[in-house]
Amino acid sequence: MLKLLAPDVKIITTQKGAALVEGFFGIKDNIQVVKTGDELDLGKGKKLKFTEIPNVHWPETMVTYEEDSKILFSSDAFGSFGVHKGCLFDDQTPDINKQYWEDEMLRYYANIVATFSPMVLKAIDSLSGVDIKMIAPSHGLVWRGNPKAVINKYLRYANYNKDFAEPEICVVWGSMYGNTEIMLNAVLKGIAMEKVPVYVHRVPNVDPSFVLSDAYKSAGLVIGAPTYEYGMFPPMKYNLELFQKKHLWYKKVAFFGSYGWSGGALKDFESLSEKMKWDTLNPLTFKGHPTSEELKKGEELGRELASQVKNIPSKKKDENY
């Protein structure tokens, strides 16, 4: 569209970006390839400096720093999901909307960037010596009041899959005939006894992006899934495949589920979680409707998980928004 509006426009991009422009749009002319350390003098005291930050989150991603105003145009880095609610800047955002942006930023990170957390840390390190007065990502808030705050948030997110995350529990469950749901209530009762924050998502009712966000930030994870045709309930299996892809590592985990003829859901759970660096409690599976003794075990399972999770130190700190 930009090329149609301004046919003579010069496209400035990385080597990988130039290949994409040619591959998707057939454009080869009037392209200037830049790399880390290159500069572009715009005149009148305005100079751009480029730094490549590959895989945050695309291979061709780079940031652009304007030296006079000290603005970092950060592309997808430090971005967010979410709809602007009358304010573009962090220092204009009322307190009532700040939790919304925290949630949407984490949801963006967990779904889009989490796989590439080592690259995020490397990118932040490469920018450590730059005097940044404002961060303007491609989407989300523009950070001019306290740009260091969003950098600290990204550092926190990037470290969530290097160790156990926040002392909270994300419960993800699905039930076909209500039997797994009955056990869910027992597990939640046990968690409540330890007074640990908990997020509960039913699949497939809840969009996976929200499930992934809460699961990513929580040190504790509960998976409740019945067996379906000798395997795991398909919507739950899809969510676990996302967890695997997005590197939701280092979790304290409890698994439970109902079965009819065989416990295939547990087999899929063990296969999908094998390399996830999870600390899994003894799984609780039961045939058909859970007995009172099995419900007691479910309550104990929830309480044991919560007791372990609540002793994990929080990584949150005063980031001054």
**pLDDT by residue (tens digit) across 52-92?**
999 998 899 999 999 999 999 999 999 999 999 999 999 99
Q: What is the mean pLDDT of residues 102-108?
A: 97
Q: What is the mean pLDDT of residues 197-223?
A: 98
Could you tell me which of 195, 170, 214 has the C-alpha nearest to residue 311? 195
Which residues are within 8 A (CB) of 210 and not within 5 positions of it... i.e. 6 or more apart? Answer: 107, 201
**Residue percentage of the chain with pLDDT more than 90:** 89
pLDDT number for residue 5: 86
- Show the tokens assigned to 17: 């970006």
Please say whether the dihedral angle defined by the alpha carbons of residues 85, 90, 96 and 102, taken in this order, is positive or negative: positive
| Interval 122-138: pLDDT, tens | 999 999 999 999 999 99
Q: Measured between alpha carbons, how far is 215 from 278 in angstroms, rounded to an integer? A: 13
- Show the tokens assigned to 208: 């996976």
**Residue percentage of the chain with pLDDT more than 70:** 99
Q: Measured between alpha carbons, how far is 158 from 156 in angstroms, rounded to an integer? A: 5
Q: What is the mean pLDDT of residues 188-209?
A: 98
| Interval 167-194: pLDDT, tens | 999 999 999 999 999 999 999 999 999 9
pLDDT number for residue 8: 85
Q: Write out the residue limits of the CATH 3.60.15.10 domain(s) in the chain.
A: 67-159
**279-280 vs 284-287, strand pairing mode:** unpaired
pLDDT number for residue 104: 97
Q: How confident is the model at residue 318 (pLDDT cuts 50, 70, 90)?
A: low
Contact 199, 222 (CB under 8 A): no
Could you tell me which of 139, 138, 160, 142 has the C-alpha nearest to residue 150? 142
- Give me the chain's average pLDDT, please: 95
320: pLDDT strictly greater than 80 = no
Q: Measured between alpha carbons, how far is 279 from 251 in angstroms, rounded to an integer? A: 6
Q: What is the mean pLDDT of residues 234-251?
A: 97
Q: How confident is the model at residue 36 (pLDDT cuts 50, 70, 90)?
A: very high
Place of tokens 């999908």: 272
pLDDT number for residue 148: 95
Q: How confident is the model at residue 1 (pLDDT cuts 50, 70, 90)?
A: low
pLDDT number for residue 316: 86
pLDDT number for residue 175: 97
- Show the tokens assigned to 99: 């939790």
Q: Measured between alpha carbons, how far is 9 from 2 in angstroms, rounded to an integer? A: 8
| Interval 89-99: pLDDT, tens | 999 999 999 99
Is the model more confident about 1 or about 193? Answer: 193
Tell me the pTM.
0.93
Q: Write out the residue limits of the CATH 3.40.50.360 domain(s) in the chain.
A: 166-309
The CATH architecture assigned to 67-159 reads: 4-Layer Sandwich (3.60)
* Topology (CATH level 3) of domain 166-309: Rossmann fold (3.40.50)
Could you tell me which of 101, 92, 190 has the C-alpha nearest to residue 146? 92
pLDDT number for residue 115: 95
Is the model more confident about 5 or about 265? Answer: 265
Q: 3-state SS of the chain?
A: CHHHHCCCCCEEECHHHHHHHHHHHCCCCCEEECCCCCEEEEECCEEEEEEECCCCCCCCCEEEEECCCCEEEEECCCCCCCCCCCCCEHHHCCHHHHHHHHHHHHHHHHHHHHHHHHHHHHHHHHCCCCCCCEEEECCCCEECCCHHHHHHHHHHHHHCCCCCCEEEEEEEECCCCCHHHHHHHHHHHHHHHCCCCEEEEECCCCCHHHHHHHHHHEEEEEEECCEECCEECHHHHHHHHHHHHCCCCCCEEEEEEEECCCCHHHHHHHHHHCCCCCEECCCEEEECCCCHHHHHHHHHHHHHHHHHHCCCCCCCCCCCC
- Show the tokens assigned to 90: 């962090």
